[in-house]
Amino acid sequence: MDLAVEGITCAACMSTIEHGLKALPGVTAARLNLTTHRLAVDWTPAAVDAGQVVRRLEELGYRAHPFDPGRRSAEEEAETRELMRCMGAAGFATMNIMLLSVSVWAGNATDIDGPTRDLFHWVSALIAVPAVFYSGRPFFRSALRALRAYRTNMDVPISIGITLTLGLSIFETMRHAPEAYFDSVVMLLFFLLTGRFLDQNMRRRTRSVAENVAALRAETASRILPDGAVREVPLSKIDPGALVLVRPGERVAVDGVVEDGGSEIDQSLVTGETTHVPVAKGARVYAGTLNVSGALRVRVTAATEGTLLDEVNRLLEAAAQAKSRYMRLADRAARAYAPVVHTAALLTFLGWTVVKGLPVADALVVAVSVLIITCPCALALAIPAVQVVVSGLLFKRGVLLHSGDAIERLAAVDTVVFDKTGTLTLPAPALLDGAAIPTPVLKAAGRLARASRHPLGLALAEATHAAAPPEDAREIPGQGVEAMLDGEMARLGSPAFCGVDPAAVEAMVERRPNASFVAFRHGTAEPVLLAFEQGLRADAVEVVGRLKAAGYRIEILSGDREEAVAEAAAALGVADWRAGLKPADKIARLDALKAEGHRVLMVGDGLNDAPALAAAHVSLSPVTAVHLSQAAADAVFLGDRLAPVAASLKIARAARAAMVENLWISVIYNLIAVPVAVVGLVTPLIAALAMSGSSIIVTLNALRLRLKRA
């Protein structure tokens, strides 16, 4: 049974749910996907039923319903919108309260009178109270669910700290005290919500990978019956050995072998190459690939399961689960913090009342001071504050983060693995020797190219800035485009279609061995061969050189031909390269590097790179990559240059250093402040000030990154 589980906020929930269900007699397995919130439960029907499983989840503090991808997506969009609204409210409150606080601080240092200060505090309270109750709902709900299930999580001490600080500020305002801490509490909420939003966004991006793979799968296929009739049937009715028809423009629904017909296939899922591949009788085709031009009769080898598309999906899910385990370890450490905070406050209260005989009210003040001073504000801000600053720095350099923890993983990288086509090279083929071709010929060819969907046609149209195509332009599948220009027939397409002498084609191939060609012929004029090639990005050599000089190990893993990869590797000075790889081969190489102890950054763009991007320690994808690869990558970089890759690594290392510094600041703060608070030397006011001070210090340390140059 697959269930969608509501109320999951952190990786610690995985352990709570899985262990809680496995303790139920009859449940044999429970597996929760933290990214999709999908829970798969196996049980023995004689010992337990679905109702007991759902009730057990409710006892643990979670609600569940049958898994529906559409409903789950809608719920997550609603959660994201709520986080954005909360962030906006907290940010608005922070800005306005800070204006009032600065006035009070300045007045306290000079001669502000009590009524004026009280007025400023009450105005701050009027802004802060609704802002806290509105913006703090995600933390309060999570904490309440945990407490109702007799457990704690990171949101419990955060909620207590926020509530106590707000209550203390109101109390102090009522006492006409010179200090209140409305500014601290709303600022704290704003940063906490920013970190929660980044985490939510990361999970949405990761889940969209599986959704995009599913979108490539056809639900039906055109089965050819023994009498020659064609019938559309569900894929579940197609067995290996059946014969199916794949029409031009359709996605291939099955894995199989071409029995009859000829066409061109977009097999970027398999090879990563955007150039369409000619197929004829005996050629293999794969589910999810696109039949571009001609009709094909395909003998099925795999339909509902065991297809290459299934393999890609399996690799993606396995990679996502590996990252979930990493996050679970990090959250387990954070979860241990909550009981320590509560225990310290309780022991302080008991120590002062039972041992020292202090009145309950006074002991409570000391305990509150301990709870406030140990509130994990600085700890909670230590990482999100750096993430916010670094996200902005990376954005300025053309890098958009998908994953909140990508910065930490980028900082640990020691090996960079590049795909070739579309990554080291430009995503689209470029026209070669265009200056040697007469301008009228190029313009005429470009007009015909406007009528073509072929990648080389698109590249030619772009290179020539051609005008609109002729009205009578006609694309002939597998051959090219033809139309009347100035009263004469013009053709753009394969050399044979344009009547090019095969000897001329061979001579051009010898001169440009890695190029692709189209021909153009107008009337009785001699045909012209146009060569296209995907050249290296302008700064590829410089960036690879900089990475090598910085100590990174560089490899190229490509699905392209060996000759093409060897040429690119030689130009870049990369000794480790592999060609002709399929998705599983790239995963195997990444696993081998991981086994050797390397932390790999995978940079790729093709559909076949998506599993490797998800499996790598961290991954980057150019913005020109297919949507699936963009979704699988931890970050996307803009533009035609590779410089953002090098900048990401350099900024990430500086960010990791700032994160470590912030964590040490938090630890040292607690080592000094907690003992002082426990012995009663700190009032709640000083505790709140110390808490705010530690938060400000870690925030300033994060902002210091802006002064560094990548």
Known catalytic residues are: 419
At position 243, the amino acid (one-letter code) is L
Report how far apart, in Å, the C-alpha atoms of 667 and of each of 47, 187, 369, 672 are. Answer: 49, 21, 18, 9
3-state SS of 599-652? CEEEECCCHHHHHHHHHCCEEEEECCCCHHHHHHCCEEECCCCCHHHHHHHHHH
- 91 is written with which tokens? 């940010």
Do β-strands 488-493 and 2-6 pair in parallel, antiparallel, or remain unpaired?
unpaired
3-state secondary structure of 7: coil
Pick from 293, 280, 277, 282: nearest CA to 257: 282
Whose structure tokens read 């749910």?
Answer: 17
CA–CA gap between residue 235 and residue 248 (Å, rounded): 19
- 703 is written with which tokens? 């902002």
Q: What angle do CA 235, 262, 476 make, to 5 degrees?
A: 110
- 116 is written with which tokens? 């004026």
113: left (phi over 0), alpha (psi -120 to 50) or beta: beta
Adjacent-strand bridge partners of 223 = 231, 244
CA–CA gap between residue 353 and residue 54 (Å, rounded): 44
CA–CA gap between residue 358 and residue 362 (Å, rounded): 7
First to last CA, the chain: 50
- 259 is written with which tokens? 């029995």
3-state secondary structure of 597: coil
Do β-strands 553-557 and 576-578 pair in parallel, antiparallel, or remain unpaired?
parallel
Edge-to-edge strand list for the sheet holding 38-43: 27-33, 38-43, 2-6, 63-66
At position 376, the amino acid (one-letter code) is P
Pick from 296, 249, 303, 657: nearest CA to 453: 249
Whose structure tokens read 């010992």?
Answer: 47
Encode 602-634: b = buried (16+ Cβ within 10 Å), e = exposed.
bbbbbbbbbbbbbbbbbbbbbebbbebbbbbbb
CB 32 within 8 A of CB 54: no
CB 285 within 8 A of CB 258: yes
232 phi and psi angles, rounded to 5 deg: -80, 120
